[in-house]
């Protein structure tokens, strides 16, 4: 019996077959990375795949970092604020926020290194520690 992580990874792998880096009307500046983060959050909610959260954190930060000089900075700062909110207000476990922050950093580093999204952000949740 395949684990839910395998099912999620298969669905995300299928999604990535047609993936292209989003362009949008806003391609640089401060709002472009904000839109990347929001779009990925909305897509994660729409797809409703169990344990896809670290992949979408990585993907959102990857896309934001590809936007130019402000993208990585904005994604990093918003990610920290979001995780502080999750711990303090939503009472989410600290270990979940640490995993999310690591996934965020992984996405930004992969973009900076010139790697592809598929190289940077694994689709199986067990690849995020």
Interval 55-85: pLDDT, tens: 999 999 999 999 877 899 999 999 999 999 9
The pLDDT value recorded for residue 1 is 39
As a whole number of angstroms, the distance between CA 42 and CA 31 comes to 16
CB 27 within 8 A of CB 67: yes
Percent of the chain with pLDDT over 70: 95
pLDDT at 26 over 80: no
The stretch 96-102 carries a mean pLDDT of 97
Q: Look at the pTM and tell me if it is higher than 0.85.
A: yes
Structural domains of the chain ordered from first start: 27-127 (1.10.132.110)
E runs forming strands in 4-123: none
37 pLDDT tier (thresholds 50, 70, 90): very high
Least confident residue range of 25-39, 42-56, 79-93: 25-39
Give dist(CA 14, CA 77) in Å, integer.
Answer: 31
Task: For residue 77, give Cα distances in angstroms to 3, 24, 42, 73, 122.
Answer: 34, 22, 19, 6, 23
Q: Which residues contact 49 (CB under 8 A, 6 or more apart)?
A: 7, 8, 11, 12
Which H helix or E strand runs over 120?
helix 117-120
pLDDT (mean) for 99-115: 97
């Amino acid at each position: 019996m395949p684990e839910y992580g395998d099912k999620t990874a298969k669905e995300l792998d299928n999604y990535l077959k047609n993936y292209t880096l989003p362009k949008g009307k806003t391609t640089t500046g401060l709002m472009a990375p904000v839109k990347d983060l929001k779009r990925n959050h909305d897509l994660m909610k729409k797809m409703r795949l169990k344990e896809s959260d670290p992949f979408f954190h990585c993907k959102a930060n990857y896309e934001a970092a590809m936007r130019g000089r402000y993208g990585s900075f904005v994604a990093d700062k918003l990610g920290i604020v979001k995780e502080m909110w999750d711990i303090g207000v939503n009472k989410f476990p600290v270990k979940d926020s640490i995993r999310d922050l690591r996934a965020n950093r992984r996405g930004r580093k992969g973009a900076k290194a010139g790697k592809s999204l598929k190289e940077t952000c694994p689709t199986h949740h067990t690849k995020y520690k």
